[in-house]
């Protein structure tokens, strides 16, 4: 029976009664049928706790089968899923929950006391879900009906809101509709040649596009299986790779595998595909990987706002240092950042995109949305690139000061705003510097009025205000910040000055 819930019908419904194993975990295996029984119980639990069609469900929970099922259940019940990084502090969660006007908030038992006042102020129902899959949410679901008829939702209805970073102001909620997520999955299935025979080694978090939509939507759609691990761990990667056919990871995964002597051609020769994204893959890593295994990593490019937009080919040359060609259905151009005029191949400009994969705008930020699109509908990504002689996209930097560390976006303004409130700090500038493990590491360059202020003082102040991945990996104290004639801090000069700061100690 057709429910007219676009995302559920097209990506999840076909295999919901299958006895095939969908998820292999360290503890046990879950068939598609078992997984969807849990989905239905959670969908019923959401309705019991007051979910109405279009309501936002904010979730900060450890990666688990129940958390993944909660995503599908939210979609099936007609809600809008809002995944939140598990590193976010209560200070940060306050903004996301409030801005999204969430009606249901799911956190761990440990975080419940800190989040309760926020949920109360929002008139939101607070539920708990822990890493071991206990909590008030699962308690309600355990007594709920295992049958559930999907709520009708069309192509343009919201499916998810993911908060993304910018260089000024607060995080922006990227609105992804059913059409966005379905179209991207259909394209990736064909472009990367995924089938029901695939077993994906899944070690990514499921609070962002890469681990949740690219990986989970795709494998569920084709009827494949996932080895669903809590996080990346070299021992687990080596142990479970023998059972997998494919792997998706951020560059850090691959550098750490290359640091492990057990990872060799013998361990990986049966794997048909290694995919990297969320942060730039160093050309050197690409070459070392091929030398070690005889296989080439497939690098692609995407954003929270656009899902996947380009990819190196499955069949054909995978060129180190490039992110390949536009995916089918994606229109890409390189434009002059100021005029929007399209540039010739080889010239550096800003990537602009159009297609069914491109988000519908920023949640409750009409002005930001308008600023982010050209009059002809192209989305201005903020990423600078050129088209090489092979027609491949080469990312050369960002027109913003965005930092990408370990595949996670960080915007300096948020960190600077907090550091500047510390007694004794005159001003600060936060930059990203090349890091051998994380791609970029956060560096805080600080001007102080007091000689006694230390890095330990800065880190202690930020500890409960910023997620760990946003906190500076080092602080540099200077007498003044470099400025241009207009008085603007020259972050490019700071990045140039400190680009070796992590390499010298690595």
DSSP 206-220: SSSHIIIIIIIIHHH
Indicate whether 14 and 94 sit together in one domain.
Answer: yes
Distance CA 3, CA 490 (A): 55
Residues 215 and 95 in one domain: no
**What is the pLDDT confidence band of residue 170, given thresholds at 50, 70 and 90?**
confident
pLDDT tier for residue 33 given thresholds of 50, 70 and 90: very high
Number of domains making up the chain: 3
Stretch 73-83: mean pLDDT, rounded? Answer: 98
Output 504 or 48, whichever has higher pLDDT: 48
Domain ends where: 255, 275, 296?
296
Cβ proximity of 74 and 80 under 8 Å: yes
Tell me, yes or no, whether 41 lies in a domain. Answer: yes
**Predicted pLDDT of residue 166:** 46
Confidence band, pLDDT 50/70/90 cuts, at residue 506: very low
If you average pLDDT over residues 401-412, what whole number do you get? 83
**Same domain (yes/no): 78, 214:** no
Which is it for the CA torsion 113, 114, 115, 117, positive or negative? positive
Q: What is the average per-residue pLDDT within 250-256?
A: 90
CATH number at residue 481: 3.30.300.30
- Higher pLDDT pick, 1 / 226: 226
Mean pLDDT of 42-59: 98
| CA 129/CA 500 separation, integer angstroms | 42
Nearest to 119 by CA among 101, 131, 135, 134: 101
- Which carries the bigger pLDDT value, residue 412 or residue 22? 22
Q: 154, 176, 208 — which closes off a domain?
A: 154
Residue 505 has pLDDT above 60, yes or no: no
Distances in whole angstroms, Cα of residue 15 to Cα of each of 11, 24, 183, 456: 9, 16, 19, 53
Confidence of residue 169 (pLDDT cuts 50, 70, 90): low
Residues 13 and 139 in one domain: yes
What is the percent of the chain where pLDDT is above 70? 97
> Residue 274 belongs to a domain with what CATH number?
3.40.50.980
With a CB cutoff of 8 Å and minimum separation 6, the contacts of 336 are 343, 349, 350
pLDDT at 329 over 90: yes
Statement to judge: residues 148 and 288 lie in one domain = no
Same domain, 132 and 214: no
Residue 487 has pLDDT above 80, yes or no: no
Q: Average pLDDT of the chain?
A: 93
Q: DSSP characters for 103-136?
A: SEEEE-HHHHHHHHHHHHHHTPEEEE--TTS-SH
Mean pLDDT computed over 101-107: 98
Higher pLDDT among residues 414 and 190, named by residue: 190
Domain membership of residue 428 (yes or no) is yes
Stretch (H or E) spanning 383: strand 379-387
Confirm whether 87 is domain-assigned.
yes
What is the SS3 assignment for 369?
Answer: helix
Q: In the predicted model, is pLDDT for residue 103 greater than 70?
A: yes
13 and 125 belong to one structural domain: yes
Q: Which tens digit of pLDDT belongs to each residue from 180-224?
A: 999 999 999 999 999 999 999 999 999 999 999 999 999 999 999
Taking 90 as the threshold, does the pLDDT of residue 150 lie above it?
yes
Q: How does residue 165 score in pLDDT terms, banded at 50, 70 and 90?
A: low
Taking a C-beta distance cutoff of 8 angstroms, is the pair 222, 195 a contact? yes
The residue out of 253, 279, 296 marking a domain boundary is 296
The predicted pLDDT at position 1 comes to: 44
Q: What is the mean pLDDT of residues 410-418?
A: 85
pLDDT at residue 299 greater than cutoff 70: yes
310 is a domain residue: no
Q: Give the pLDDT mean for 487-505.
A: 82
Give the containing element (helix H, strand E) for 84.
none
440/499 same-domain check: yes
Domain hosting 127: range is 6-20+31-154
* pLDDT confidence band for 280 (50 / 70 / 90): confident
Binning pLDDT at 50, 70 and 90, where does residue 168 land?
very low
Q: In this structure, is residue 227 part of a structural domain? A: yes
Q: pLDDT band at residue 492, thresholds of 50, 70 and 90?
A: confident
What mean pLDDT do residues 462-469 have?
A: 94
Residue range 387-412: average pLDDT?
85
Q: What is the pLDDT of residue 146?
A: 97
**Inside any domain, residue 200:** yes
Whether residue 13 is found in the same domain as residue 149: yes
Which pTM was predicted? 0.87
Same domain? 145 vs 214: no
Is 201 a member of any domain?
A: yes
Same domain, 90 and 204: no
226 belongs to a structural domain = yes
Residues 37 and 150 in one domain: yes
With CA atoms as reference, report the closest residue to 39 among 71, 63, 14, 83.
71
Better-predicted residue by pLDDT, 388 or 504 = 388
The 3-state secondary structure of 299-335, one letter per residue: EEEEECCCEEEEECCCCCCCCCCCCCEECCCCEEEEE
């Amino acid at each position: 029976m057709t429910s007219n819930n676009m995302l559920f019908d097209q990506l999840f419904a076909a295999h919901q009664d299958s006895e095939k194993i969908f998820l292999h975990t360290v503890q046990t295996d879950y068939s598609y049928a078992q997984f969807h029984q849990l989905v239905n119980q959670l969908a019923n639990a959401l309705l019991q706790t007051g979910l109405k069609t279009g309501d936002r469900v904010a979730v900060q929970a450890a990666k688990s089968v129940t958390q993944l099922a909660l995503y599908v259940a939210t979609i099936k019940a007609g809600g809008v899923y809002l995944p939140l990084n598990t590193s976010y502090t209560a200070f940060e969660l306050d903004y996301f929950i409030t801005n999204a006007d969430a009606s249901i908030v799911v956190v761990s038992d440990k975080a419940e006391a800190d989040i309760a006042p926020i949920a109360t102020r929002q008139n939101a129902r607070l539920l708990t879900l822990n890493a071991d899959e206990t909590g008030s949410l699962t308690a309600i679901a355990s007594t709920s009906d295992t049958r559930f008829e999907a709520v009708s939702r069309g192509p343009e209805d919201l499916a998810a809101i993911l908060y993304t970073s910018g260089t000024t102001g607060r995080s922006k909620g990227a609105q992804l509709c059913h059409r966005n997520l379905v179209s991207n999955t259909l394209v990736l299935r064909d472009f990367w040649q995924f089938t029901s025979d695939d077993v994906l080694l899944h070690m990514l978090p499921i609070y962002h596009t890469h681990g949740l939509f690219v990986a989970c939507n795709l494998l569920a759609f084709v009827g494949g299986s996932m080895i669903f691990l809590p996080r990346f761990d070299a021992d687990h990667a080596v142990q479970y790779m023998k059972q997998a056919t494919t792997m998706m990871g951020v560059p850090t995964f691959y550098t750490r595998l290359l640091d492990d002597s057990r990872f060799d051609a013998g361990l990986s020769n049966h794997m048909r595909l290694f995919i990297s994204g969320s942060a730039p893959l160093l050309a050197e890593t690409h070459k070392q990987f091929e030398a070690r295994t005889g296989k080439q990593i497939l690098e692609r490019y995407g954003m929270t706002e656009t899902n996947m937009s380009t990819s190196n080919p499955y069949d054909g040359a995978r060129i180190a240092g490039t992110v390949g060609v536009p995916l089918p259905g994606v229109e890409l151009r390189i434009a002059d950042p100021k005029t929007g005029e399209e540039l010739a191949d080889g010239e550096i400009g800003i990537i602009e995109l159009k297609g069914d994969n491109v988000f519908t705008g920023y949640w409750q930020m009409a002005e930001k949305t308008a600023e982010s699109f050209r009059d002809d509908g192209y989305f201005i990504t903020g990423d600078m690139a050129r088209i090489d002689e092979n027609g491949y996209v080469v990312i050369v930097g960002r027109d913003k000061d965005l930092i990408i560390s370990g595949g996670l976006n960080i915007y300096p303004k948020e960190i600077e705003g907090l550091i500047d409130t510390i007694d004794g700090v005159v001003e600060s500038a936060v930059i990203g510097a090349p890091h051998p493990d994380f791609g970029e590491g956060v560096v805080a360059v600080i001007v102080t009025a007091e000689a006694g202020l230390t890095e330990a003082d800065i880190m202690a102040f930020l500890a409960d205000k910023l997620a760990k991945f946003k906190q500076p990996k080092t602080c540099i104290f200077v007498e003044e910040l470099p400025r241009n004639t207009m008085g603007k801090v020259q972050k490019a000069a700071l990045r140039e000055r400190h680009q070796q700061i992590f390499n010298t100690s690595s």
